[in-house]
Amino acid sequence: MPTVGVYIPDYIYKEVLKEKKGISLFTLINEMVTWKKQNEFSWLSEVNSQTLQHSLRQLDIAYTNFLGTTDNVVDFADSIFYGELNSPSDLSLSYIAYWLRNSIGSLNNLLGISITINTDSPFSFSTALNEQEKAIYKTLFKIFYYGRK
């Protein structure tokens, strides 16, 4: 049996990368439920789901930092939900992703750029956002979020 800890999400991440390039973290976390029921991955049930999800998030951040930026809208929403806002109970990840998809025009107008959202699944930015654009987009969402309270 594999050692519980970093090995588990790393093992899953590498297995997924072999089969499906570009899978989102959100999809990966959802697929874990199915994997726990399969004999090959039954040992995943020995660890609670929150620990596995957290480990996958941390590993995704590490891989993203090592390999480059993530252009997936859901992963970007995930970084806002968990990283910026600390997963508030009055907000959902899908709501942030929806707002991001519908507010790309505001970012374009503010910065004088022309980024679009590809409508294929998973939703992705047509051009990778640089760190300054990401910071501005996150700030726009936080202004929207805190402004509606």
Mean pLDDT computed over every residue of the chain: 75
Is 33 inside any structural domain?
Answer: yes
pLDDT tens-place string over residues 127-138: 878 888 888 989
Q: What's the domain count of the chain?
A: 2
pLDDT tens for 38-65 read 888 788 788 888 887 877 777 666 655 5
Predicted pLDDT at 10: 59
Say if 1 falls within a structural domain: no
Domain range holding 21?
Answer: 7-67
Q: How far is CA 113 from the centre of its chain?
A: 24
Q: Residue 101 contacts by C-beta under 8 Å, 6 or more apart in sequence? A: 73, 117, 123
